[in-house]
Structure 1
Amino acid sequence: MAAAGHNKYAAGYGQVKHHEWRTAENSASHLLPRLQAMVKETPQLKLLDVGAGPGTISASFAKYMPDGQVTATDISDEILGRAKEHADSVGVKNIQFQKANVYELPFPDSSFDIVHVHQVLCHLDAPPDAIREIVRVTKPRGVVALRESEMKMWCIFPELPPLLQFHEIAAKTLAANGGQDKGGRQLVSWTMKAGVAREDITASFGTWCYSTPDDRLAWAGSMMERLKTGQMRGKAIELGIATEQEIDDMVNAWDEWSKTDDAILGIMNGEVLVDKK
């Protein structure tokens, strides 16, 4: 599903198991100090998590603001159901779920103290339009927190040739579907194009690190599923950037990588905090 005139989420929801690895601690550290400071001043804080996916980050936020309220949105009823199941499983009560499209958020102006968006803009064909809508629903003196992966900046060991090829086709297929393969480095630019003054933007970079056996399995398992049955396989073959055999080699390489004790993957992420006037 997509807003009229825009591309849809091409990755699909069948291969997002690795999203469940994400928490506020490992994926929103640029926001946490500000969130904790704001909770001290406003215990009944309202936070919107746009494109929340399986809701693991949303539920993490909720624990930092026990007297506040988290609203988690996504375009998929299926994934929102999974997010609710996760919240219930970890005992989070101060959270609600609502279907919504980032280009047309169903909330009045100035509804939330904090609006958080994580790995959503890179899948969109018009990120500044989405940011403009996100800023709209943020209260004056509120905060917008954005974080997007930088597809061009991965660091992997061992450097298995099929995994280096996978990195290339992952970026190319994202761009071919209308997404952004250089999202992290463009966050400040997109935010300014959405009408935010440069002096109201704080920029940073953060990383993901997959190195423990569980971390490697979470990442590699999802990548293998995308290669076996996901949209990436068909798109790579359609574009002529990988053969069936090469894709099968990538599946085997991810399996090998996940079982290698000294294997590691680092991914760079661009980050922005907006202080709304």
Structure 2
Amino acid sequence: MTTQHTAYAIGHAPSHTKHHEWRTAANSAPRLLPHLQKALASNPNLKLLDIGCGPGTISASLAQHLLPSGNVLATDIADDVLERAKEHAISQGLSVPDNISFQKASVYELPFSDNEFDIVHAHQVLCHLDDPVAATKEMLRVCKPGGLISLREADMRMWCFWPELPSLLKFHALMVEVMLANGGQDKGGRKLVSWVMGAGVKREAIEAGFGTWCYSATEDRKAWGESMIERLRTGQMRQKGIELGLTTEEGVEEMVEGWKRWIEREDAMLGIVNGEVIVRKA
């Protein structure tokens, strides 16, 4: 019998995925890249599975690193976001399906054979799941012996703002509580090693660390802040937050104004800590 898991409640509306388009392999998979180059030196025909690709900006940039002979297969659970990811890949000069291809799939039931991929990559996927260990086991199943699994997850308890506007601190608290209410994980970054070991991997096969995102440049503040404003105005976070009594319509508007002020402040910064692991499958 198939186990029922919590749905991805946040969805793939532009208000949620807009800031995802800022992500690339360079700023969101930096720990993987040196391993990728080393693997390519011995096998130029690498097959990389990118799980939960969203709008596909990381997928496409990983595919650029695999040129000319490697291939990325990018998956997600929604047809509309996969179509956006495909359009982005084509806009970057990638050939579909020669350099990159797309397929609808659940991380809990990947429609692939055992030991099929040289590298399996997932970015900000496990934090949205009610059973990260089961998902990690499935990633391990489709990875070849000697292959790599690359995971990166935000630790939602480790955000820091400047200026420390009360409205943004309230937004952060709301985001954490809605994530938990949706069945997700608020401490994914610090739990990655534990989850991977829970999936049966020995500690010596895990390279672990933390990486950061920094939103401070004008274009970065705009991309992040405007996306958060859209979430507050039209996204599931607004609806869920009000429904659960975590905030009010007035509280939401206060947060919107806070993000507007933050975007305009030249000295504004947002730092987010991400846990990272590279796993070598035995």
Fold match, TM over 0.5?
yes
Equivalent residue for 1:76?
78
Which segment drifts farther, 20-29 or 3-12? Answer: 3-12
Deviations 1:64-103 (A, max 9, x none): 1111010000000000000000001010120000000000
Q: Does 1:138 align with 2:137?
A: no
Looking at structure 1, the residues matched to 42 and 144 of structure 2 have their Cα atoms a distance apart, in angstroms, of 15
Looking at structure 2, the residues matched to 17 and 221 of structure 1 have their Cα atoms a distance apart, in angstroms, of 9
Give the SS at the match of 2:172: helix
**1:4 Cα offset (Å):** 4.9
Paired AA for residue 134 in structure 2: D
Looking at structure 2, the residues matched to 108 and 57 of structure 1 have their Cα atoms a distance apart, in angstroms, of 24
Looking at structure 2, the residues matched to 80 and 17 of structure 1 have their Cα atoms a distance apart, in angstroms, of 14
Which segment drifts farther, 234-243 or 102-111? Answer: 234-243
Equivalent residue for 2:5?
6
Choose the corresponding residue for 1:129, options 93, 114, 134.
134
Looking at structure 1, the residues matched to 76 and 246 of structure 2 have their Cα atoms a distance apart, in angstroms, of 31
Matched ranges for 1:88-167 at <5 A: 88-93=90-95, 94-167=99-172
Looking at structure 1, the residues matched to 263 and 61 of structure 2 have their Cα atoms a distance apart, in angstroms, of 26
Looking at structure 2, the residues matched to 51 and 239 of structure 1 have their Cα atoms a distance apart, in angstroms, of 28
TM (norm. structure 2) is: 0.96
CA-based RMSD = 0.9
Equivalent residue for 1:265?
270
Deviations 1:13-39 (A, max 9, x none): 112100000000000001000001101
Runs of 4+ that moved beyond 4 A: none
**1:158 Cα offset (Å):** 0.8
**1:41 Cα offset (Å):** 0.8
Equivalent residue for 2:244?
239
Matched ranges for 1:210-221 at <5 A: 210-221=215-226
**1:199 Cα offset (Å):** 1.1
Equivalent residue for 1:18?
19
Looking at structure 2, the residues matched to 207 and 137 of structure 1 have their Cα atoms a distance apart, in angstroms, of 28
Looking at structure 2, the residues matched to 110 and 224 of structure 1 have their Cα atoms a distance apart, in angstroms, of 42
**1:12 Cα offset (Å):** 1.4
**1:254 Cα offset (Å):** 0.7
Equivalent residue for 2:173?
168
Equivalent residue for 1:193?
198
Structure 1, unmatched stretches of 5+, are none
Paired AA for residue 191 in structure 1: V
Deviations 1:50-72 (A, max 9, x none): 00001100111111111101000
Equivalent residue for 1:226?
231
Which segment drifts farther, 104-113 or 255-264? Answer: 255-264
Looking at structure 1, the residues matched to 59 and 80 of structure 2 have their Cα atoms a distance apart, in angstroms, of 16
Matched ranges for 1:40-59 at <5 A: 40-59=41-60
Paired AA for residue 40 in structure 2: V
Paired AA for residue 127 in structure 1: P
Paired AA for residue 36 in structure 1: Q
Structure 2, unmatched stretches of 5+, are none
**1:243 Cα offset (Å):** 1.3
- Structure 1 vs Structure 2: percent identity of aligned residues? 60
Looking at structure 2, the residues matched to 189 and 18 of structure 1 have their Cα atoms a distance apart, in angstroms, of 28
Q: Does 1:63 align with 2:68?
A: no
Looking at structure 1, the residues matched to 17 and 29 of structure 2 have their Cα atoms a distance apart, in angstroms, of 18
Q: How many residues align?
A: 275
Give the SS at the match of 1:16: helix
Paired AA for residue 100 in structure 2: I
TM (norm. structure 1) is: 0.98
Give the SS at the match of 2:89: helix
Looking at structure 2, the residues matched to 13 and 144 of structure 1 have their Cα atoms a distance apart, in angstroms, of 25
Looking at structure 1, the residues matched to 168 and 17 of structure 2 have their Cα atoms a distance apart, in angstroms, of 19
